[in-house]
Amino acid sequence: MFGNHQDRAHASVLFIGRHEAHQAHQAHQAHRDWLGHWISPGGVVTHALALALVRSLALLLALGACPGGLALAAAPELNQPGHSAAQRPGRALARPSKHTPRPLLKGPRFQKNAAFLGLVERLSTKTSLPPSWVLEQLSGAHHLEQVRQLIMPAASGTRKNWLAYRARFLTEERIRWGQAFSQAHARELKKAEDLYGVPGSVVVAILGVETLYGRHMGQYPALDALTTLALDFPPNHPRHDERAQFFEAELAALLLLMKDEPHSYSHSHSHSPILSSYAGALGMAQFMPSNWRRFGVDFDGDGRVDLMHSASDAIGSVAHYLEAFGWRRGLPTHYAFEPSEWRMKEPAAAQWESLLAPDILPTFSPERLQALGLTLSPEAALHPGLLAVVALENGAEPDSYVLGSENFYVITRYNWSSYYAMAVIELSQEIQAAQLR
C-alpha cells in the first residue's frame, strides 16, 4: 500500500523458527566473514565499536582502498537472461507491466563498498540495531533491476481509462471470492466495524483489490526490493531525493520487523524469502513495513501482528488504518454527479478547472457548489461536510464524475488514486449485493 501504499525478501535468516535461528547463529559464530577478524572469539562486539569499524571501512573505500564505487558483486545465480545491474550504455530495459506475473528473480549481491557501508551505518544508527547484524542481513540482499524500472512514473500524456480499470478489478471471480471471504470472516468484520466504524465490505474490497484476499501477496523478495531502492534509486526519477529517503526509512522499518517479530514472517518454517510488491509492500493488506509497525493490529489475540498468514489481523489492521486517517462512521463515500450541461454555460466553463484543481481533496461545501450553479442530488445537497469534484477519464470516451466525500479521500490514503478508491467502493457494493442474492 503506497498510501499504505502503500509508489508499496527478507534474508532467509528472518523467516526461520527459534531452533533454526539458533543453528544459524552457531554457524555464524563459527564462520569468519569479512568483518570476522575484528570480532572476539565469543562474537561479542559493542555497538559503538562496530560502528567505528564500519566507518573505518567506509573511509578506506572512499579513499580508493577497495575500488568499485557503486558496482555490484558478481553473482552466478541470475535467473533471467541478460539481467545485470550494469546494462549496456544507452540500452535501458523496457518498463515491465506492474501486473504481469513473473518468477522469483535474483540479481547480483551488493558489493561492500563505501555506499553500502554508509547505508549499514545509517540504518544501524536509525534503528539502534547492531551494525554487524544489519551488515549480515544486507549482505544477503540482491540488486533487482526490475524494481528500479517499475518505480519510475508512467509516461504522461496518455488518458487513463476508468472503465478498463474497473473491469480489471470487478470480475465475477473477485466478487465471488469476496463474498466467500466475507462469510468466512463475518465475526471479525463485524468486530472491526464496531470498533473502527469502517464497513466490513470496504475492508474486504481493499483486501480483494490489493492481494485477491491473500492469494497474491507479491513476487519480489522484500529485503532485495527495499535495499535496491534505498541504495540504488533511479537518479532520473523526478522525486529522487524524497523517494530514496522514503525507501531507506522503509528498509529500516523492515529490519526492525525482522528483528522484533520474526515469527510473523515465517513461511511454514521455510527458508524461502517472503515476497512483497516491487515497492516492498507486505502481506494480505500490502502494508509498507513502517505502516505494519504503526497500524498493524493483533486482532486474533495470539500475541503478534501477522499480516502474512492471519486474515483476522489483516482485517483489523486495514480498518484501523482507515480509522486513523479520518474515516467517519456512517458517512457516504461519494455521490453521483453529472455536470455536462452546466459546463457548457458561461461563466461555468471558466470555473470548471478551478473546481477540478483540488482533485481528490474535499474542498467545497454543497452550498458553495450549488451557488456556482451545479445541480446536486438531494443526498449530496445534505452532505455534512466538504466534497471534491473528481474526474475519471475514460480513454476516448467522455469523462465520468463523482463528488467524493471525506471517506472517499481516506480510501485514497491507501493508494493515492481516485480510480483505486472507486474500484474499492464499487467492489464493496458488488460483494454486498452478492450476499443479498
Label residue 226 by pLDDT band (50, 70, 90): very high
For residue 332, what are the CA distances in angstroms to 123, 316, 381, 389, 402?
A: 43, 21, 13, 15, 12
Tell me phi and psi for residue 397, to 5 degrees.
Answer: -85, 165
Cβ contact 401:392 at 8 Å:
yes
pLDDT of 235 higher than 50: yes
| pLDDT at residue 80 is higher than 80 | no
Cell 551488515 found at: 135
Distance CA 13, CA 26 (A): 12
CA 92 to chain centre: 25
User: How many CA atoms, within 13 angstroms, populate the side-chain half-sphere of residue 221?
Assistant: 27
Distance CA 73, CA 246 (A): 25
Q: What is the pTM of this model?
A: 0.77
Residue 151's identity, in one-letter code, is I
CATH architecture designation of domain 1-34+45-67+105-158+216-328: Orthogonal Bundle (1.10)
List pLDDT tens digits, range 329-348.
999 999 999 886 666 555 56
CB distance 84 to 108 below 8 Å: yes
When mean pLDDT is compared across 104-113, 134-143, 282-291, the lowest value belongs to 104-113
> Is the pLDDT reported for residue 58 higher than 70?
no
Residue 120: which of 202, 184, 192, 35 has the closest Cα?
35
User: Edge-to-edge strands of the sheet including 397-404?
Assistant: 334-336, 397-404, 388-394
SS (H, E, C) 361-407: CCCECHHHHHHCCCCCCHHHHCCCCCEEEEEEEECCEEEEEEEECHH
Q: Among 46, 108, 103, which residue's Cα sits nearest to residue 75?
A: 108
Residue of 286, 277, 280 whose CA lies nearest to 308: 286
In angstroms, the CA 344 to CA 347 distance is 9
Torsion 100-103-108-114 (CA) sign: positive
- Regarding predicted confidence, which is higher, 379 or 57? 379
Check if the beta carbon of residue 230 is closer than 8 Å to that of residue 353.
no
In Å, how far are 4, 7, 58, 146, 171 from 416, measured between CA atoms?
Answer: 9, 9, 38, 22, 22
Residues 281-289 have a mean pLDDT of 98
Place of cell 507486505: 282
Contact 433, 205 (CB under 8 A): no
Helix ranges (H only) for 76-185 are 114-127, 131-139, 145-150, 162-169, 172-184
Kindly report which listed range (15-29, 104-118, 328-342) carries the lowest average pLDDT score.
15-29
How far, in Å, are 154, 298, 302, 402 from residue 312 at the CA level? 35, 8, 11, 32
Average confidence (pLDDT) over 43-62: 50
Q: Which residue has the higher pLDDT, 234 or 74?
A: 234
End-to-end CA distance of the chain: 32
Cell digits for 240?
Answer: 529522487
In the DSSP assignment, the letter for residue 336 is E
Going from N- to C-terminal start, the domains of the chain cover 1-34+45-67+105-158+216-328, 334-404
From 271, 256, 294, 262, select the one nearest 130 (Cα to Cα).
Answer: 256
200-211 and 418-436 are packed helices; what angle lies between their axes, rounded to 10 degrees?
120
Q: What is residue 346's predicted lDDT score, i.e. its pLDDT?
A: 56
Task: Inform me whether the pLDDT recorded for 435 exceeds 90.
Answer: no
DSSP state at residue 70: T
Q: Is residue 60 pLDDT above 80, yes or no?
A: no
- What confidence category does residue 274 fall into, taking pLDDT thresholds of 50, 70 and 90? confident
Contact between 196 and 327 (Cβ < 8 Å): yes
